[in-house]
Amino acid sequence: MKEITPQEVQRLLADKQPIHLIDVRETEEVESGKIPGITHIPLGLLEFKLQDLDKVTPYIMVCRSGGRSGRAVQILEDHGYQATNMVGGMMAWDGSVE
């Protein structure tokens, strides 16, 4: 499984790189703060939303600590998508939130 650190994600965002972040936390968790511009798809709904994603687009998956986003990466990879897990999740994120 490919992994990326929160610091690397922050650097990509600061450099205005075209990245696609997906937060797989539950709605209540996201309401407490999320990375600006991130797409929210709860892990339980991810397989139902696959048709909304593009197989040529690489996605970075985010959750609270990195566990659920790791499962999300597995789901996406099993269906032919490109995905990377942000290790440490939002607990390790010290960038801006909205």
Q: Which residues are catalytic?
A: 63
Name residue 22's beta-bridge partners.
39, 61
Whole-angstrom distance, CA of residue 34 vs CA of residue 95: 10
Tokens 């797989």 sit on residue: 24
Whole-angstrom distance, CA of residue 59 vs CA of residue 22: 7
Query: Among residues 93, 63, 52, 13, which one has the least CA distance to residue 74?
Result: 63
